[in-house]
């Protein structure tokens, strides 16, 4: 099995619902996102996936999130904009474009992250 990983960033604000603590108030993060593709075989060029292609697709997804108030995005009107749900949202959108997406990890700080692996 081969895996390739790219990273990208976005900045946004959110507040958590059904939560008691500091994060129930409006606040922001500079998020780091890691997207991983896994494949059993390499292509003719010897790659699981071109890094530039993967990074480009990830950046397309992050454009909608960057400099936004996540709670106003349709998906997060139903799903609480937790790191876990943000990872799932990014994974689900990428899965439409990249069938071999294996996981997405979202870092909300240098030492806190959540990963979604898919069903």
Provide the annotated active-site residues. 23, 67, 108
pLDDT for residue 119 is more than 90: no
- How many independent structural domains does the chain possess? 1
Domain with residue 107: its CATH number is: 3.30.479.10
Q: Which residues contact 97 (CB under 8 A, 6 or more apart)?
A: 57, 60
- Hey, what long-range contacts does 79-88 have (CB within 8 A, 24 or more apart)? 80/16, 80/17, 80/18, 80/19, 81/14, 81/15, 81/16, 82/16, 82/114, 83/108, 83/112, 83/113, 83/114, 84/114, 84/116, 86/31, 86/114, 87/114, 87/115, 87/116, 88/116
* Structural domain boundaries, residue 30: 2-116
Q: What is the pLDDT of residue 118?
A: 84
Return the pLDDT at 87: 98
Q: Is the pTM here over 0.85, yes or no?
A: yes
pLDDT, tens digit, for every residue of 36-87? 999 999 999 999 999 999 999 999 999 999 999 999 999 999 999 999 999 9
């Amino acid at each position: 099995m081969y895996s390739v990983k790219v990273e990208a960033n976005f900045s946004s604000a959110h507040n958590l619902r059904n939560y008691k603590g500091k994060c129930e108030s409006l606040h922001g993060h500079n998020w780091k996102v890691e997207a991983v593709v896994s494949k059993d075989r390499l292509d003719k060029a010897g790659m699981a996936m071109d890094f530039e292609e993967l990074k480009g697709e990830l950046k397309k997804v992050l454009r909608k999130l960057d400099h936004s108030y996540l709670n106003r995005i349709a998906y997060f009107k139903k799903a609480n904009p937790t790191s876990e749900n943000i990872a799932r949202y990014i994974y689900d959108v990428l899965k439409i474009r990249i069938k071999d997406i294996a996981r997405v990890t979202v870092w909300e700080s240098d030492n806190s992250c959540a990963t979604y692996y898919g069903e």
